[in-house]
Amino acid sequence: MKLMTEKWFTEIYPDEGCALSLELSEKLHEEQTDWQKLEVYQTTGFGRLMLLDGCIMLTSRDNFIYHEMMTHPVLCMHPAPENVLIIGGGDCGCLREVLKHRAIKHVQQVELDGRVTWASEKYFPELCASNNDPRAELSFTDGVSFIEQAESGRYDIIIVDSVDPVGQATRLYDKEFYRACFNGLSNHGILVAQSESPLFHKNLIQSMQSRMADAGFKGTTTLFFPQCTYPSGWWSASMAFKADRPSNHRSVDIETKYYNNAIHLAAQAMPQFMLNTDK
C-alpha cells in the first residue's frame, strides 16, 4: 500500500501499523509494463528510487547492502563456484556483484520483466556496469519454467532475487520450485533466496526453509542484514545446501561496501526469537 503527496512517497505496512516515507524531488519515469507498474523517482536523501506496484524495490543509497549479502556469502561458502543462475534480479545489482568473483565462468540471469532491466540501465547505470561482461547472459522469460527445464546439475549457485510472494512471484516460494532448483544444482550446490523481514515475516522464513528441506536440501541457514528502506529496516536471505553445509568460507579479494569476513560470520547469528517456534 502506498500514499503519494506532491513531495512524499509513503509505503504503508497496514498489518504492522507503520510506514516509511521518502521525500521526492522529481518523477523520472512511470509505465505499466506487461507485468507491473514501474516508477522511478529522484529523492532528496536516498538518490533514485524504483517502485514496482507501489512497493520500494531499491534506492541508490542503500541497495549495495542487499546485493552484496545476496551474493558474496553464498559464493564464498561454495568450494569452487563457476556457473551461477540468477532468477529475477532485473536491476542487475546481483549480477554485478557475482561477476566481481574472477573464478566465475558464466552467469545466467532470468528476469520476467525486461522493462525493469531497461529502467535500471537508464536510471541506475552503476548497477548495470557488468551487463556486457562476456560471462553474463541475460534472458527475459519465466524463471520457474526456466529452472524446471534446466539441465540437471548445471549450476553451482542459484540466487533467487525475487519480489514479495504475491501474484506471479508466489511460485518462487513453492516446494515444487525448490525441487527444480535442487535438481538444477551441482553436487555441492547452494540456493539462496530473499526471505523478507525476520521481524515481520518470521513465519514466511520458517515455511520457506521447511519447503526447501522437503525438496531435498540437507540443511538451511538464514542471513540477517539491515535494509533501511525495506519493511522494518531488517532483512534476510535463506540459504539451502544440496550437500552438507560448509564448515568455513573462503576469503576473496573483491571491492565491497558492506560485506567482509566479520559480516559473513555475524550475519548467520540467529536471534533468540527466531529459535522459539511457539512465538
Annotated catalytic residue, options 161, 164, 174, 244: 161
- Interatomic CA distance for residues 206 and 236, integer angstroms: 12
Q: Check if the beta carbon of residue 27 is closer than 8 Å to that of residue 49.
A: no
Distance CA(226)–CA(197), nearest Å, equals: 10
Query: 3-class SS at 25?
Result: strand
Catalytic, 161? Answer: yes
Pick from 213, 210, 208: which is nearest to 173 by CA?
Answer: 208
DSSP reduced 3-state for 150 = coil
Sequence letter at residue 3: L
Nearest to 29 by CA among 40, 16, 42, 14: 40
Catalytic positions: 161
